[in-house]
Amino acid sequence: MKTAEIAQRYLTFFEKNDHLIVPSASLVSDDPTLLFTVAGMVPMIPYLTGVVPAPHPRIADVQKCIRTNDIEEVGRTARHGTFFQMLGNWSFGDYFKEGAIRYAWELLTSSEADGGLGFDEKDLWVTVYETDDEAEAIWRDIIGLKPERIQRLGRADNYWNTGQPGPGGPDSEIFFDRGPAYGQDGGPAVDDNRFLEIWNLVFMQDFIENIRGKTEFDIVGELPQKNIDTGMGLERVAFLKQGVENMYESDQVRPVLDRAIEISGRPYGEVHEDDVRFRVVADHVRSSLMLLSDGVRPSNEGRGYILRRLMRRTVRSMRLLGVDVPTFPELFSTSRDAMKIAYPVLETDWTALSTAAFAEEETFLRTLAQGSTILDLALDETKKSGQATLAGSEAFLLHDTYGFPIDLTLEVAEEQGLSVDRAAFDALMQEQRIRAKEDARSRKRQLADVSVYRDLRAEGETVFSGYDELETESRVLGLLVDGAPVSSATEGQIAEVVLAETTLYAESGGQVADKGTITGPGFVLDVIDVQRPVPGLVSHTVDVRQGTVSVDAVATTVVDAANRRAARQAHSATHLVHAALRDTLGPTATQAGSLNRAGYMRFDFNWSQALSPETRTEIEDIANRAVQDGLEVTTRVVSLDEAKAAGAMALFGEKYGDVVRMVDIGGPWSRELCAGTHVRTSSEIGIISLVGESSVGASNRRVEALVGADAFRELAAERALVSQLTASLKTPREQLVDKVTDLAAQLKTAEKRIAQFESAQRADRAPGIAKEARAAGAFQLAAHDLGSVESADEVRDVATAVRDVLGAAPAVVAVSGLANGRAIVVVATTEAARGAGVKAGVLAKLAAGVLGGGGGGRDDIAQGGGTDVSALPAAFGAIEQELQRA
């Protein structure tokens, strides 16, 4: 039974049982404390907690999930995957334990001919919470499961909670017995490899507080509404129904594994570590493709970093399988073909997705080449210094700065007969993890518990009337100070205000929040920010400037008209630039993020090459012609299907319901789904001036523009600058570029002549310094202090010039200088000296140690330095003593 068929059977079954079927939410979670949707229940949290009313008392879905906390286990077990799909059915105050158990058992054990999954009852076991007599009785007396196949387990296994104060409850898990070949008998309490969990039924009935750990918390009461939250792993059911060993060999994953086998030429099923690598490739390619399809792009932070890590682990695994050439074009297209039945977007958006994937692979292959060069140099220096271990700091630098994998560093070092100080590397990695976790905790502490909005949201959605007016009278529904509900807020306090209606725009769709005030009898509030903490609710963060504001008070929202007008200009300009980009570059230049505020806009788009000045000018011209044409801007509220049929562009990062707002500029010339505020005609924008274009990733570019009055002021400033230059250089404007270019060339020529003159001067000093050479054992030593110098290059030039004068003699040159308060020493050796075993790098390091610093380099020339300038005579003396011992 194919994976897609299992999912369809699941949805069909629950649809027949009065469940509303909802599409999967994005892998990019709405929860600000999560990077991704890590579990099937994440999108349902607002309904489960009662913050937002559920659209139907019964829901079923197939939810896409990404979880990377067990990434090192991928490929090593039958069930660990970074991307997985969770089948879920939900009851919000409707059916409870008996209903959930009946539905699960019926679907699992009904024959395939009757639409079920066809599992044999004798292969199924269940666990229940240790005190849940009710659930055990349902399984035993109503379902008819034999008592010996019902096991009771404790909080660690059969109690669910979010890890935060709030809802929780016992659960009942259903397991499939894979048979004696997979482990010992005795049920899931004995062996969770043989007995594989496939479905978890959570009976959300308790309110918990004082959480001290996974199993340490207090159940303080019952929830007013009991809910059902179930999750069945689609991949687990698929590999069981398909009779294969693990999820990597199921129909949506195995094709990539097979393609990797073909590319590498290595067998599957013979070498354990190779098998793990094949499975890592199959898993990570699919996960990366699904993240790309939800708008994530590789980067060095946040979600983009996770995606980059998955993609680079794939490249690394293929390298360990003996493949050094690009493989993403074949692997990703294979994954697309395996997944497109379930997710058609993979085919429709293939050009943009593949462009991002292929660019990332090319970038990392270059990184590996660069890192290999740096590693080779570090290993060479380690061997030359007589050490057998590469410093952990060197390995960490390669990993942290260049993205060079530690396992590759270990492998290359071993090939050259060296080890790596893994303990030091791991310590540095742990320090980095601690910093990252602390940063994450810091961000999380700044977030209010969204449950405080439950009662406010229960009164209905906040009405936004700001499209048509800038001022409206409303009522204060609630107040929060420091994240806690209060009855009033007084002068000088920072508070959150929730109103029944507002004209102030909440930040979304790339448009920043409105500025303005909220006034009422005896109070004035300055608006700092406007956000939507939960769907449908608008919260205003305010500074209480005057008086006291209380719950139920009459309040009037007043939008800063000038700021709103400039914000409208910028947002409409963003749409025009998007259209101009697609007109110039083609339909693959799709949006990957935006920001617009009064007078400014930036727009990120999928593109892998820098824009030429001519292309930038063309984009700017197209957008400004649209401004000049005075195109009508219209908005319509339509169904999502109608908007898609009309060709409306969806914006990155936005979540859409069944009804959407569609913004047209010039009819279909620019048509996007957008909740932002806009001008009435394009001519109101005034002017768009592109001021920047840059890279924000391997396959993403960013354009920035000033809009309206800000653009005019920027252009006026540039005009004034040009006027000053033409007057100063006495050159007509049209000849200014040539004049500046000519002056720059003259300056470069002059600098070159000066450098040549200074070099000749330094060379002239060489014979005199060479004459100062004295015997040091079997060698001649020419040691000289230049005093203050501009840079180390000056010291190096003199040292090499003196060495040239000394010629064939076995001689060593040591020249010092003082630059920026630091002593510099350069050591140069003649060929005869090197033939006698003298190495410049060793002597430079020795001298630098005396100066309180470090140094080293090649055998023929090396450099060191330190801060103890007074120790220069001693540094020269140390070199002389070393030569006398040689």
Map out the domains of the chain as residue ranges. 3-247, 254-380, 450-559, 564-716, 755-885
Q: What H or E segment, with its residue span, contains residue 547? A: strand 537-550
Cβ burial of 822 (10 Å; 0-12, 13-18, 19+) is middle
CB count within 10 Å of CB 387 equals 13
Residue 689, pLDDT score = 95
Strand arrangement, sheet containing 670-673: 633-639, 659-665, 670-673
Does the 450-559 domain belong in CATH 2.40.30.130?
yes
Q: What is the pLDDT of residues 308-367, one digit of tens each?
A: 889 988 998 998 899 989 999 999 999 999 999 999 999 988 988 898 899 889 888 887
Task: Give, for 463, the enclosing helix (H) or strand (E).
Answer: strand 463-464
Of residues 811 and 305, which shows the higher confidence score?
A: 811
Q: How are beta strands 124-129 and 150-153 bridged, if at all?
A: parallel
CATH code reported for the domain at 564-716: 3.30.980.10
399 is in an annotated binding site: no
Provide mean pLDDT across the span 395-411.
Answer: 76
Residue 446, pLDDT > 50, answer no
Q: Are 8 and 21 in contact (CB under 8 A)?
A: no
Look at residue 402 in the predicted model and tell me its pLDDT: 67
448: pLDDT confidence band, cut at 50, 70 and 90?
very low
Half-sphere exposure of 704 (CA within 13 A, CB side): 10
Q: Is the confidence at residue 76, as pLDDT, over 90?
A: no
Across the chain, mean pLDDT equals 89
pTM: 0.67
**Residue 263 parent element (H or E):** helix 254-264
Q: Can you name the CATH fold of 755-885?
A: Diaminopimelate Epimerase; Chain A, domain 1 (3.10.310)
Give the model's confidence band at 858: pLDDT under 50 very low, under 70 low, under 90 confident, else very high. Answer: confident
Query: Per residue in 299-309, is it b (16+ CB within 10 Å) or e — as a string?
Result: beeebbebbbb
| Residue 678 among known ligand-binding residues | yes
**Model confidence pLDDT, tens digit, residues 623-657:** 999 999 999 999 999 988 888 888 887 754 455 66
Query: What CATH number has the domain spanning 3-247?
Result: 3.30.930.10
Contacts of 616-622 with C-beta under 8 Å, sequence gap 24+, read: 616/690, 616/693, 616/703, 618/584, 619/577, 619/580, 619/581, 619/584, 619/690, 619/703, 620/580, 620/688, 620/689, 620/690, 620/705, 622/579, 622/580, 622/583, 622/584
pLDDT of residue 343: 93
Q: For residues 658 and 562, which has the higher predicted lDDT (pLDDT)? A: 562
Contact 205, 222 (CB under 8 A): yes
Percent of the chain with pLDDT over 70: 96
The response to whether 575 counts as a known ligand-binding position is yes
Mean pLDDT, to the nearest integer, of 173-181? Answer: 95
Q: What is the per-residue pLDDT across 184-241, written as a single tens digit (0 to 9) for each?
A: 999 999 988 899 999 999 999 998 888 888 889 999 988 888 999 999 999 999 999 9
65 is in an annotated binding site: no
Is the pLDDT reported for residue 427 higher than 60?
Answer: yes
Looking at residue 653, what is its pLDDT? 46
